[in-house]
Amino acid sequence: MKISVDPVIASRIKSAWGKLPADQQARITPLLMKGHQQAVAASQARVAPRTDGSIGHALPLAFSAISDDRDGVVNNLDAGIIIDVDGGGEIWGTGKYQQLDPGWLEAFAEWLEHFILGKSSFSTTPATIPIPDDVQIGLAGDWGTGDWRSTANPAPSTDVRTHLAFLQPQLTIHLGDVYYAGTGNEEEHLLLNLWPRGSLGSLALNSNHEMYSGGGAYFKAISNPPFAQQNGCSYFALENSNWVIVGLDSAFYSSEEKLYREGALFPSQGPQVQVDFLKVQVAKGKKIIVLTHHNGLVQDGTSQTDLWSQVMSAFPPDTAPAYWYWGHVHAGVVYQPQKNGAATVLCRCCGHGGLPCGQASEMTNKQSTVLWYENRLAHDPDIPQRILNGFAMIYLAGPKIDEVFYDENGGAAWP
């Protein structure tokens, strides 16, 4: 059986595309065609294309939807097949949440439609929330897939939720991404109803996928339990006697025409309210942990992203956050210590909370930049190529900190 494009979504895509001004279509088309060429390569050559972080999940089948499958990509793909795993670990197959899953076209449709509809307003009333000096905090990123498999072989996010809740953290924080596009239905049923709540509450960061639908459903979600402490604001601080944990929104001001895939804290012109908020926290003289959805380093740690300089601009010369956790990249990674001038910052990627991914060949032999990364096979009977998903725990005890990455089965993966 061949895959198919939902005709309702295809109609939405064509309608939204037709409403875009010609100059905007011209700016978007090169990115659209890059995604299409990846899909052509996968469907015809039966190999995973070269990793391209600018494309993501929403684009590979998008041109096929606009053009009524002019190049035969959709017609050439069987349902439930796995072609290959690319160098970044993304699985090129047609199964749920894989790169050629037609379900991702919902994200493309929402993204196009919100060029016309516009996006939500941005709240500038962040909460500073007191937390105990001794506290356990659970972190999971890119978790919002829902319980999409059976009880006999649960979804990775289901197992992550179960084992994160078992550890009874006082706070739990989602580093962003509810799939496919952070719509109202998805935020309600895949985040609000399923997220493992901490005994003292939960918090959630904004993300590219939640901005595809304009961000409105996300901002509504963080106005309600278990995220109500945020009061509808997408950045915040958690503070005790020794530490300040600062959650920042790296999605809202990210480039819309680049699918919100490159993190940004502020618009190209205008106030830098999040940087100013971070500066206030830095001035308290306590140890800082930064949380963002988008990554400050590329996946293998060999270079910095633009978001790096934006975050570090809040710190005086030769100072830095003690730790920086992010998601967005669907991997669990502990990086070698990074430098901001003379200061050291410890960076971690915790974006492996839900989506199925495979072994990333580009991560091999990167000991100079990567201390640890999750690459153990999950022994999944439905997706043999899949590696273990997981989450992280932070244990604060006065001025001390311990971290543990756990896998989806509840085992300690690192250290």
- Residue pLDDT, tens place only, 338-366: 999 999 999 999 999 999 999 999 999 99
- Of the pLDDT bands very low, low, confident and very high (cuts 50, 70, 90), residue 205 is very high
Residue 389 backbone phi and psi in degrees, to 5: -85, 175
Average pLDDT over residues 297-326: 98
- To 5 degrees, how large is the angle CA 145–CA 265–CA 317? 125
Q: Which two three-digit tokens encode residue 339?
A: 């430098």
pLDDT 10s digits, 183-194: 999 999 999 999
Alpha carbon 302 to chain centroid distance? Answer: 20
Question: Average model confidence (pLDDT) for the chain?
Answer: 98
How high is the pLDDT of residue 18?
Answer: 97
**pLDDT digits over 224-249, tens only?**
999 999 999 999 999 999 999 999 99
Question: What span, in angstroms and rounded, lies between the C-alpha atoms of 333 and 128?
Answer: 28
The first and second tokens of residue 193, run together, are 């109803």
What's the mean pLDDT in 153-172? 99
Average pLDDT over residues 25-54: 96
Asked if the bond preceding 260 is cis, omega within 30° of 0, the reply is no
Strand locations in 285-410 (E)? 287-292, 323-326, 332-335, 338-340, 343-350, 370-373, 390-397, 400-407
Q: Give the residue extent of every domain in the chain.
A: 7-117, 127-414
Of 347, 302, 310, residue with least CA distance to 328: 347
- The pLDDT of residue 149 is 97
Instruction: Tell me which architecture the domain covering 127-414 has in CATH.
Output: 4-Layer Sandwich (3.60)
Element (H, E) at 91: strand 91-93
